[in-house]
Structure 1
Amino acid sequence: MQTCRRFMLHICAGLLTVAAFSGCGGSSNSDTIPTTVSIFNAHSVIFRNNTAMTMGYNDFGQLGDGTLDNRDLPTIVPGLGHMDKAAAGAEHTLAFRNNTSVVMAWGYNVYSQLGNSSVSTSANTGFSSRPVKAQLERPVTDVAAGAFHSLAVANNSVWAWGYNVYGQVGDDSTTEKVSIPVKLDKDIAGGALPAIAVQVAGGGLHSLALFNDGSVYAWGSNAVGQIGVAPADSILYKRPKKVAGLSHITMIAAGNKFNLALEETPVTGGTQQRLWAWGYGAAGQLGQDPAGTGLTQLTAGDPNTAYSATPVVVPGTTVTIADGNTEVIKSISAGLDHALLLVGGQGHALGDPTHKVRSIGFNFYGQLGNNMLPTPSGKLTTTSSFELVYTLNSSGTGELTGVSEIKAFGNHSLAKANGVWYGWGDNNMGQLGNPAPFSSAGNPKIPVPVRGL
């Protein structure tokens, strides 16, 4: 099935400078790829017993199975063996195994996002439909994918490569493409970055890094405040800049043009947890009403241009951890313009019945998994929600429970619950492991089991 995403092109306006988006993509058996990109963020990567499996759109080899054929069933990526974490960009995929010095990469490579100089970067042949190695240092401990750039943590340092016109690689340049991984060691002022990096996150055209001192740094496009400062100050940052106002951060995530950071701060009587968000907020992904006074509008009176250049607390996420039964956030994941939170009892093991999914943001494809029902306060969620909602179970009769893992991709979501992978939201390319619907109206708005596992 072929499809165009008119709304996606609107919310991904920052990517329009990357390529001319014309026409629609489909499956292919040829050894060349389309010269234009019209469908992106439409594939998934999950694990079954540390085996990487992919599904969805594959015109650029992003499924890694040696073909350019779309798949609506999870497909093992051959030749990888045991993997520990993976990430999906607009048209490429990354994975690594703990205690190694390489990131395995496959898919689109016109902007060198695979990090291997032996792979072509030409318009028709700039791809690899099988994994190739991006060489770093040992050990690799994290990986993330932006739209057309890649990030990793290796030997306690941040590494980056790929598309760099907005400075999202962070090497103090705006060279169009950085062909091999480079280590980042300087901040925007030329000083040293903190010694130990623990996590990276890739936005559409920007990047984030979390360090073990609880600080967060951002770099790349600042069109809507993604770097944590007003766009008028600078439209891009070529080196990491510390995000002001954040401390005691334990986890980060990046959407297309927005960011999340989870804080855990010691307070009297225990630990306080809260979730911060900043950047683009027109779809409610910051937890603020786009038409309200809590956000700035690039165009006055137009809530579709709402953003916050300074981190704001997502309402409903502030909690003081009193005991092991207190519901806390254990994991966060961001798609293009929506976010998932894995919540559960603080002292309970992942996957026990207390663990559920809360979601927020864009919901046009049903990616919040709440069947587009109103929020508890009565707000409609047929397009988006700036209030957190619970994802429902596969029968729509209650909340999805027993969750142990969450994955937010482009406009779709996946979660592992009670040992079973479920998907909801955009499935127009089979990225949920189910046949694509005849129209977007048929995309599942509550979780459906991923087939073939």
Structure 2
Amino acid sequence: MVRADGTVWAWGANNEGQVGDGTKTTRHAPVQVPGLTNVVAVAAGGYHSLALRQNGTVWTWGSNISGQLGDGTKSARLTPQPVPGLTGVVAIAAGSYHSLAVRQDGTVWGWGSNSSFQLGSPSEPLKPIQIRGLTGVVAVAAGLMNTLALRHDGTVWALGANSFGQLGDGTVTDPRATPAQVPGLSDVVALDFSFQSAVVVKQDGTVWTWGDNRRGELGDGTTDSRATPGQVPGLSDVVDVSASTQGHLLALRGNGTVWSWGNNTFGQLGDGTDFPRAEPAQVPGLTGVTGLAAGGTHCLVLREDGSVWGWGPNHGGWLGVGSARRPTPVQASELPGVVSVEAGVGFSLALDTEGRVWTWGRGIRPPGQALPAAISPVQVPELSGGVAIEASGYHGLVLLGDGTVWGWGNSHGIAPRIPVPRQVPGLSGIVAIATVYTQSVALHSDGTVWQWEHTFDSGDGGNVEPGHRSTPFQVQELTDVVAIAAGDYHFLALKKDGTVWAWGSNFHGQFGDGTTRNEIVPVPVQVMGLTGVKAISAGGSHSVAVLEDGTVWNWGAYRLGVTDGGPIISQTPVQVPGLTDVVGVSSRYHTSLALRGDGTVWTWGENEDGTYDPGFAPKQVPGLTNVKVLAAGSSVHHSLVVLTDGTVRGWGDNYYGQLGDGTSGQHFTPARALLP
């Protein structure tokens, strides 16, 4: 979505980088897409995204399997980049695998998939080409294999596939590469394309449809496909429409109400049922709506108060609130002030929506000042454009939007040995970072993992010890990685196929392969019996994984140096009892946290008094709701979470003011950090 300030925010499934935040991590709450300003329109395709800036340029990111990013390649991209050679654009549209743009001169340009000649060319262009025969165009729509154009005279023109009569000319024939006018339509003011059917709004507020109707998407009370436009009965005073790629449609009336019809397999009609409906009905409980969007199987609307509401399936975080399916409208999480937090030994970090990094507790030393033990947050100097943060021991790392990594601090003592962050040499194209006391790892956009010892040269040569590998090196035999995690002495990698791999120390079974080894293992080994994993985290000597079904599994031990009778979990993964609908986890030295889809936080492992509950049964953190992001401290225990309103809460050790609430006393219940 585009905010009034021209920034772009995205959430949901991110397996192809379509969120645009530089990662492939599913986002259950809105995150700002870095590097985009002055945006006036956005479009979402099958697995790719487009943004139109005020200067007439188009920016794309996500999947590029058919060249739909328009950059001349078929390489996916996790962050926005401009489409080369395309200027003066006034409108955009994204199909399943192709993209469209309308220029100021009324011409239409397209790129990507051309399997049914929807781009009017015999080839599959990887860069924009003009679609011949289209002039005077003011808006476009893209379907699975179709292109629809609205001319300034109110006529509609179509090309591409026609197996269900989606060209609207009364025929059901082979695809057509030349645009032709849809007969019988005039005074059209808006249009959209569903999977294989079209919908338009006329100036008089009536809605007309044609094409595939197997799911009732034509809204005429039948499931008979139709090759010519017909009016949708019962709809008047319509000002906008939106059609999904899976056969459900939305209409916005002038009174701010929303009406839906078509496919309802996943509750995408918003009426609390999963029964398809072949004629429009009002979505209950929605008023004051100003904009709408029908996704593949979910829906979003914008209300006049600026809030975003959604309904339908939510397992990819598509609705921006938790992960549970919502058959009736619910409000998405508010756009935040703080997007992530991290906790080190005696200090904390926060990343805000503008890419700035804040620290409190044992912070860095600003130029010309002594090391602060700040009990309120202060901004980290000389850093901007941050997209991810990590903290461990006495040092911090920041990933910038340009793919570089910056760090400060050290692993040996209290005081950082450098005054300001410095760039980690030899790293670019990075999309994720993780760090522990003596080591850091970074995930490259190509799916490889890089590792280094995080001592930063202070300039006097005194901070690099013999044998330290301070220059990043590639971890052997790891490809197709989508997420990484770091424990005290071991590392985890989540691969695209849903399997988990581990390397480093396995003294307490943190590899999950049924063994223990009192040695460093440099080559990753696969964790036994785990598939379908969507998130990972690593504690001091234990590991945690969240599966796609929302269950949580852990293995290893909750303490270092325990005896045979100590709190060992298992040398292979076992399910954490009583936890379902989990959307995120974070582990610290002896403890783990889980965030559920309902915004509550649950914790298990070591208690405040050093004891352990039988079976490591999770307990809910009291007084916490509407949580969207969590972090866990390391060694010196404290925990941080971000709420949907962008505020930060923390509890636990606070000797150095690391909870950021203006005090230095320990807190057994969550306290608010004093971030600006």
Same fold by TM (over 0.5)?
A: yes
1:109 alignment partner in structure 2: 64
Alpha-carbon spacing, 1:109–1:342, altered in 2? closer, same or farther (3 Å): same
Contact 1:103–1:136 (Cα < 8 Å) also in 2: no
Q: Deviation digits for residues 212-254 of structure 1, max 9, x if unmatched?
A: 011111111112111113554x220112121111111111011
Give the whole-Å Cα distance in 1 for the aligned partners of 2:243 and 2:62.
21
Q: Deviation digits for residues 333-352 of structure 1, max 9, x if unmatched?
A: 111211111112xxxxxxxx
* Structure number with higher relative contact order (C-alpha < 8 Å, ≥ 6 residues apart): 1
Where does 1:40-119 land on structure 2 (aligned, <5 Å)? 45=1, 47=3, 49-100=5-56, 102-117=57-72
1:132 alignment partner in structure 2: 81
Deviation at 1:135, TM superposition (A): 3.5
Give the whole-Å Cα distance in 2 for the aligned partners of 1:391 and 1:289.
17
Give the whole-Å Cα distance in 2 for the aligned partners of 1:196 and 1:71.
39
Give the whole-Å Cα distance in 1 for the aligned partners of 2:85 and 2:220.
40
Give the whole-Å Cα distance in 1 for the aligned partners of 2:63 and 2:86.
24
Contact 1:224–1:257 (Cα < 8 Å) also in 2: yes
Letter paired with 1:355: G
1:150 alignment partner in structure 2: 99
Where does 1:390-429 land on structure 2 (aligned, <5 Å)? 390-393=282-285, 400-417=286-303, 418-429=305-316
Contact 1:99–1:141 (Cα < 8 Å) also in 2: no
Contact 1:221–1:237 (Cα < 8 Å) also in 2: yes
Contact 1:53–1:77 (Cα < 8 Å) also in 2: yes
Aligned residue for 1:446, secondary structure, equals: strand
Which structure 2 segments of 5+ residues have no match? Answer: 336-676
Give the whole-Å Cα distance in 1 for the aligned partners of 2:145 and 2:253.
29
Letter paired with 1:335: S
Where does 1:379-394 land on structure 2 (aligned, <5 Å)? 382-393=274-285
1:369 alignment partner in structure 2: 270
Q: Deviation digits for residues 322-372 of structure 1, max 9, x if unmatched?
A: xxxxxx11111111211111112xxxxxxxxx3111111111211111223
2:222 alignment partner in structure 1: 290
Give the whole-Å Cα distance in 2 for the aligned partners of 1:98 and 1:212.
21
Give the whole-Å Cα distance in 1 for the aligned partners of 2:87 and 2:77.
24
Contact 1:98–1:139 (Cα < 8 Å) also in 2: no
Give the whole-Å Cα distance in 2 for the aligned partners of 1:115 and 1:135.
7
1:274 alignment partner in structure 2: 206
Deviation at 1:153, TM superposition (A): 0.6
Q: Deviation digits for residues 376-429 of structure 1, max 9, x if unmatched?
A: xxxxxx321112111122xxxxxx111111111111110112321001012121
Q: Deviation digits for residues 11-46 of structure 1, max 9, x if unmatched?
A: xxxxxxxxxxxxxxxxxxxxxxxxxxxxxxxxxx45
Aligned residue for 1:273, secondary structure, equals: coil
Where does 1:197-216 land on structure 2 (aligned, <5 Å)? 197-216=137-156
Deviation at 1:137, TM superposition (A): 4.8
With the length of structure 1 as denominator, give the TM-score of the two structures: 0.71
Match of 1:242 among 181, 188, 200: 181
Letter paired with 2:145: L
Where does 1:282-321 land on structure 2 (aligned, <5 Å)? 282-291=214-223, 295=224, 307-317=225-235, 319=236
Letter paired with 2:291: E
Contact 2:161–2:176 (Cα < 8 Å) also in 1: yes
Contact 2:205–2:239 (Cα < 8 Å) also in 1: no
Name the Cα RMSD after superposition: 1.6
Give the whole-Å Cα distance in 2 for the aligned partners of 1:48 and 1:281.
37
Letter paired with 2:210: W
Residue-pair matches, total: 332
Alpha-carbon spacing, 1:384–1:262, altered in 2? closer, same or farther (3 Å): same
2:201 alignment partner in structure 1: 262
Contact 2:307–2:334 (Cα < 8 Å) also in 1: no
Give the whole-Å Cα distance in 2 for the aligned partners of 1:99 and 1:279.
36
Match of 2:117 among 152, 167, 180: 167
Of the two, which has the highest radius of gyration?
2
Aligned residue for 1:159, secondary structure, equals: strand
Which structure 1 segments of 5+ residues have no match? Answer: 1-44, 187-192, 265-271, 296-306, 320-327, 345-353, 373-381, 394-399, 438-442
Give the whole-Å Cα distance in 2 for the aligned partners of 1:314 and 1:273.
11
Give the whole-Å Cα distance in 1 for the aligned partners of 2:159 and 2:229.
15
Give the whole-Å Cα distance in 1 for the aligned partners of 2:46 and 2:144.
8
Give the whole-Å Cα distance in 2 for the aligned partners of 1:231 and 1:147.
24
With the length of structure 2 as denominator, give the TM-score of the two structures: 0.48
1:448 alignment partner in structure 2: 330
Contact 2:201–2:239 (Cα < 8 Å) also in 1: no
Report whether the alignment pairs 1:433 with 2:320.
yes
Q: Deviation digits for residues 103-153 of structure 1, max 9, x if unmatched?
A: 100001111100011xx42xxxx2000112113554211110000000111
Once superposed, which parts of structure 1, at least 4 consecutive aligned residues long, lie more than 6 Å away?
none
Alpha-carbon spacing, 1:79–1:370, altered in 2? closer, same or farther (3 Å): same
Give the whole-Å Cα distance in 2 for the aligned partners of 1:98 and 1:158.
18
Give the whole-Å Cα distance in 2 for the aligned partners of 1:334 and 1:136.
30
Identical positions, percent: 35
Letter paired with 1:146: G
Give the whole-Å Cα distance in 2 for the aligned partners of 1:251 and 1:98.
21
Contact 1:229–1:310 (Cα < 8 Å) also in 2: yes
2:191 alignment partner in structure 1: 252
Contact 1:65–1:78 (Cα < 8 Å) also in 2: yes
